[in-house]
Amino acid sequence: MILPHHGRYDYVPLPRRQDYSWPQGKRLAFYIGLNIEHFAFGAGLSHSLSTPLPGLDHRAYTWCDYGNRVGVWHILDMLDKLGLPAGHLMNTAVFDYAPDIVQAIKARGDEIIGHGRTNAERQGLLWEEDELRLLLQVREQIREHAGQDVRGWMSPWMSVSRQTPDLLREAGYKFLMDWPGDDQPFWMKARSGPMLSLPYPFEINDSPQMLVRHHSAEEFERMIVDQFDEMLERSEKYPLVCGVALHTMIVGQPYRQRALRRALQHIVDHPRRDLVWFTRPGEIYDHVAGLPEGVVP
C-alpha cells in the first residue's frame, strides 16, 4: 500500500544523522517563542477561554486583548530580569493597533517572526496567489514598522496549504516553524530550493496545554522543567533545540506568570547552563545555514 506523502523531506532517523554543536560547543539551543496576536471584533477566529457565546463573543475578544494591553508587558519585564532573549511571532495587525509593543521588542534587540496579518484568519484556506500576496505583505510591513528583514514564518494556527513552503521561499523567507516533527532543524524541499524547518513546540505550548487539554499553570511549569532537563541530558549525544511557545493572553495572566517564572528561573540557574545556548530562532537558522552541506539532513 502506498500512502499519500507530502514529499517535502526524507525519513532520516536520529541515529543516522551527523553530529555537530551550537556556537562555543553548546549542545542545547534554548529559545522562547512569544505569540503576539490581534483579532477582529465580532468576526473571524479567536482563542476561546470557555464555551463560545452565540453571536458577538465580546468576552473572547477582550480576553485576547488582555495580552496586548497587559500580559505582554509583564512577560517582557520578566524576560528582561532573567536576561533571556526571545523571538516574537507577531500578527502585523499589532503594528497599527499597539505600536508600543513593536518599539519594546526593537529596544530588546529581539527578532520578529512572520505570523500572518491576524489570527482571525486561516492562511491555509487561501488560493495560491492570495497566499503569496499575504506573505509579501507581511514581509514588507515588518520591514517598514520594525526595520527588520524578516526571515522566519509561523502560519496563524499553523494552518498551511500544499504550496506554503514553496511560496515562503519564493517570497524571501529562510525558515518555517509550522512542522513540529523533530527536535533538530532539517531541510525541506521547495520548488526553488531548500527551506529550513526549525523546531517549534506543539507540546511545550501554553495554548494547547491550557486551553485544549486544560492543564494547570503548575502542570505547565512542570512540563517546561522536565522538557528542559531531559533534553539537556539527551543533548550530550545529539545537538537539540528546546523551544517554549507562549501566548501573551495566556501566560500573561498573573497566576500563570508566577508558575512560568519559576520554570524559567530553573533553566537560567541550572548548574549545567554552560551547555545551553540561549538564543533566538533566526540565530539558529544562521548557524545551521553555515554548516557544511549534508551535516543537517
Task: Check whether 194 has a pLDDT greater than 90.
Answer: yes
Say what the pTM is: 0.95
**Alpha-carbon distances, residue 282 vs 62, 74, 226, 287, 288 (angstroms):** 32, 24, 25, 9, 10
Residue 101 C-alpha cell reads as 509593543
Residues whose CB is less than 8 angstroms from the CB of residue 179 and which lie 6 or more positions away in sequence, other chains included: 8, 188, 197
pLDDT, position 57? 81
pLDDT, position 48? 75
Q: Which of 37-46, 72-81, 105-114, 226-235 is least confident?
A: 37-46
Question: Torsion-angle region of residue 98: left (phi > 0), alpha (psi -120 to 50) or beta?
Answer: beta
Is 208 strand, coil or helix? helix
**Alpha-carbon distances, residue 106 vs 1, 38, 117, 135 (angstroms):** 52, 19, 19, 22
pLDDT, position 37? 96
pLDDT, position 55? 62
Task: Check whether 160 has a pLDDT greater than 70.
Answer: yes
Tally Cβ neighbours within 10 Å of residue 40: 14
- For 257-264, what is the mean pLDDT? 98
- For 124-135, what is the mean pLDDT? 94
* Percent of the chain residues topping a pLDDT of 70: 97
**Alpha-carbon distances, residue 7 vs 57, 165, 203, 267, 297 (angstroms):** 41, 11, 25, 37, 14
pLDDT, position 46? 82
- For 247-265, what is the mean pLDDT? 97
In this predicted model, which residue has the larger pLDDT, 189 or 55?
A: 189
CATH 3.30.450.20 fits 17-45+55-289, yes or no: no
In this predicted model, which residue has the larger pLDDT, 89 or 46?
A: 89
pLDDT, position 151? 94
Q: What ranges do the domains of the chain cover? A: 17-45+55-289
pLDDT bucket at 270, cuts 50 / 70 / 90: very high
pLDDT, position 54? 65
- For 159-170, what is the mean pLDDT? 95
Largest CA-CA distance found in the chain, in angstroms, rounded: 56
Taking only the tens place, the pLDDT of each residue in 53-90 is 666 688 889 999 999 999 999 999 999 999 999 999 99
Task: Check whether 93 has a pLDDT greater than 90.
Answer: yes
pLDDT bucket at 99, cuts 50 / 70 / 90: very high
